[in-house]
Amino acid sequence: MDIDIVKLLAATMRISTPLLMIGMAGLLSYQVGLINIALEGMALAGAFGAVVVAHETGSTWIGVLGGAGVGAALGALFALSVITLRANLIVAGLALNFLAAGGTAYLMDILYDQSGTFAPANVIKLTPIDIPLIEDIPVVGEIISGHSPLVYVSWILVPLTSIFMYRLVVGKHIRAVGEHPEAAQTAGISVTGMQYLALILGGALCGLAGAHLSVGDLAHFREKMTNDRGFIALAAVYFAAARPGLTAVACLLFGFFEALQFRLQFRDTIFPNEFLQMLPYLMVIIALVAISVRKEWKKGW
Amino acid sequence: MLTKRTPIPYWMVAPILQGSGNLWYGVIVWALIGAVITAALVWHRGRAMWIGALAGAITGAVGGILLLAPLWFVLPALLDRRDTGSADAAWTGVITNLARVVITLEMALLAGGLILELSDKDALDTYRVLFEWGLGTDRARANSLLAATPIIFTGLGTAIAFRAGVFNVGVEGSLYMGALFAAWVGFTFTSLPGLLLIALAFTVGGIAGGLWGLIPGYLKARLRVDEVVTTIMLNYVAIEFTAYMVQSGPFFVPGMANAMSKTISTKAQLPALVKRSQFNSSFLLALACVVVVIFLMNRLRLGYETRMVGDNPLFARWSGIHVGKTILKVMFISGLLGGLAGAGQVMGVHYNFSARFSRGFGFDGMTIALLARNSPVGVLIGALLFGVLRSGGTTIEVFTDVPIDLVDIVQALIIFFVAIDLSLDFLARRRRAAADQGNSGNHTHNTEPEAAADVA
pLDDT of B449 reads 43
Q: Quote the pLDDT of residue A174.
A: 92
> What does the alpha-carbon distance between residue A92 and residue B413 come to, in Å, rounded to a whole number?
10
* CA of A88 vs chain B CAs: smallest distance (Å): 6
Q: Do B233 and A235 touch (CB under 8 A)?
A: yes
**Residues A32/A280, Cβ–Cβ less than 8 Å:** no
User: Shortest CB distance from B419 goes to which of A81, A191, A292?
Assistant: A81
Using the beta-carbon criterion (under 8 Å), do A86 and B249 form an inter-chain contact?
Answer: no
Helices and strands per DSSP (H, E), number in chain B: 17, 0
Other beta carbons less than 10 A from residue B376's beta carbon:
28
CB atoms within 10 A of CB A181: 22
Residue type, A236: A
Closest CA to A93 of B363, B442, B150: B363
What are the distances in angstroms from CA B143 to CA B249, B276, B378? 33, 10, 20
For residue A112, the tally of other CB atoms under 10 A from its CB is 14
Instruction: Return the sign of the alpha-carbon dihedral for residues A44, A50, A53, A55.
Output: negative
CB-side exposure of B168: number of CA atoms within 13 Å?
A: 46
Q: What is the pLDDT of residue B448?
A: 42
Distance from CA of A145 to the nearest CA of B (A): 34
With CA atoms as reference, the chain A residue closest to B420 would be: A87
User: B406–A85: do the CB atoms touch at under 8 Å?
Assistant: no
Tell me whether B230 touches chain A (CB under 8 Å): yes
Chain B closest-CA separation from residue A131 CA (Å): 38
B420 — contact with chain A (CB < 8 Å)?
yes
| Pairing status of strand A117-118 against strand A221-222 | antiparallel
Q: Which residues contact B183 (CB under 8 A, 6 or more apart)?
A: B251, B261, B262, B264, B346, B352, B353
Q: How many CA atoms lie within 13 A of A59 on its CB side?
A: 5
Sequential DSSP letters for A231-290: HHHHHHHHHTTT-HHHHHHHHHHHHHHHHHHHHHTTS--SS-HHHHHHHHHHHHHHHHHH
CA–CA separation, B39 and B53 (whole Å): 5
CATH topology of domain B147-421: ABC transporter involved in vitamin B12 uptake, BtuC (1.10.3470)
Report the gap between the CA of A244 and the closest CA in chain B (Å): 20
ipTM: 0.87
Q: Provide the strand spans (E) within A23-84.
A: none
Block means of pLDDT (10 residues each) for chain A, 301 residues, are 75 91 94 91 95 91 94 94 84 90 91 86 83 76 83 92 93 92 91 94 95 88 88 88 90 88 65 80 87 80 52
Q: Which residue of A39, A98, A228, A231 is the best one to mutate when testing the B interface, meaning the one whose CB has the most B CBs within 10 A?
A: A98
Which residue in A has a C-alpha nearest to residue B366's C-alpha? A91
Return the closest-CA partner of residue B149 out of B333, B293, B348: B348
Q: Which of B119, B236, B419 sits opposite A231 (nearest CB)?
A: B236
Please check whether residue B159 touches A, CB under 8 A.
no
Contact flag B363-A94 (C-beta cutoff 8 Å): yes
- Contact A87/B249, CB-based, under 8 Å? no
What is the helix, strand, coil percentage profile of chain A, to 5?
75, 0, 25
Smallest Cβ–Cβ distance between B420 and the set A33, A81, A275 belongs to: A81
- Inter-chain residue contact A35 with B244, CB threshold 8 Å: no
For residue A217, give the DSSP letter: I
Q: How far is A205 from chain B (nearest CA, A)?
A: 22
Name the stretches of chain B with pLDDT < 70: 1-103, 106, 256-257, 421-456
Answer for the pair A4, A184: CB distance below 8 angstroms, yes or no: no
Residue ranges with strand state E in A108-235: 117-118, 221-222
Nearest CA in chain B to A83: B444
Which backbone phi and psi does B133 adopt, to 5 degrees?
-85, -5
Look at residue B311 in the predicted model and tell me its pLDDT: 87
Boundaries of CATH 1.10.3470 in chain B?
147-421
What pLDDT was estimated at residue A10?
87
Cβ neighbours for B271, distance < 8 A, ≥ 6 positions apart: B280, B281
The Cα–Cα gap between B450 and B441 comes to 17
Q: A114: burial class by Cβ within 10 Å (0-12, 13-18, 19+)?
A: middle
Q: Cβ separation of B363 and A106 shorter than 8 Å?
A: no
Helix (H) or strand (E) holding B52: helix B49-65
**Residues of B numbered 233-272 whose beta carbons fall under 8 angstroms of chain A's beta carbons: which are they?**
233-234, 236-237, 240-241, 243-244, 247-249
Name beta bridge partners: B354.
Answer: B260
Judge whether B444 is closer than 8 Å to chain A, CB to CB: yes
Q: What is the interface size between A and B, counted as CB pairs within 8 Å?
A: 161
Residue of chain B minimizing CA distance to A281: B233
Shortest alpha-carbon distance between residue A128 and chain B (Å): 34
pLDDT for res B443: 41
Which of B:329-368 have CB within 8 Å of A?
363, 366
CA dist A170 and B369 (Å) reads 39
Residues of chain A found within 8 Å of residue B424, distances taken between Cβ atoms: 86
Q: Shortest CB distance from B409 goes to which of A86, A103, A235?
A: A103
Contact in structure between B389 and B130 (CB atoms under 8 Å): yes
Predicted pLDDT of residue B21: 44
Give the gap in angstroms from C-alpha A256 to the nearest C-alpha of chain B. Answer: 18
Asked if residues B392 and B131 have their Cβ atoms less than 8 Å apart, the reply is yes
CB of B446 within 8 Å of a chain A CB? The answer is yes
| Chain CA centroid to CA A290, Å | 25
Q: What's the CA angle centered on B191, arms B186 and B193, to 5 degrees?
A: 85
- Candidates B244, B206, B193; CA nearest to B353 is B244
User: Inter-chain contact A86–B427, Cβ cutoff 8 Å?
Assistant: yes
